[in-house]
Structure 1
């Protein structure tokens, strides 16, 4: 009877440890994917000088395919967002990207445990690389 109890306890601990390792790897993978989306989008914004609506829609679709919640304004705080406000290199203007991503539920729980908040948030600015052709 004692051997059965020890076996059950060891099996339970093994399952819990393997589940925790798997959940942490999923969290790390989702955070890395979110970081790569942020870096790619900031590179694209730097090249064209603003957040193009077609570009934003493309990345929103990619995030939705990953199962992330994209119902709110994911790019709140991003500037410039329209072509007529485009940042130009000759004026030494910068583009700012602020992205707020709500990952899967497991990643949200682990991120709350690690960082104290539910969503992944990345904010950064870079000098614009867009030259006005008329300049």
Structure 2
């Protein structure tokens, strides 16, 4: 699994670099998701890779005064900020700026979950990612 994760991450970085250089990038068409748990243990994380899914912050000088805000990942690229009855879309950069200090938001709780890895499934691979092509007999 770790080999597939490395290949998927490297391919994604290569596409991002090419985009920054103004090159034409062909996005993969046959994306498959690697399983995040072992077949016999639904709550496990078979890759050991996690992603941040939510942050609970406090804005104020003390826990007895101030305000709590929740920041929740909506999908791979979008986050939502829940501030009482107001729900606002925010960027991942906004969430990463939650460094705390003074009257700014201080993270109280971080919630992580298994990271979903997408990879391009080749024509000769099945759902498990294993090659379905057997070695060719070249003896005569």
TM-score, structure 2 as length reference? 0.21
Identify the structure with the greater helix proportion. Answer: 1
TM-score, structure 1 as length reference? 0.22
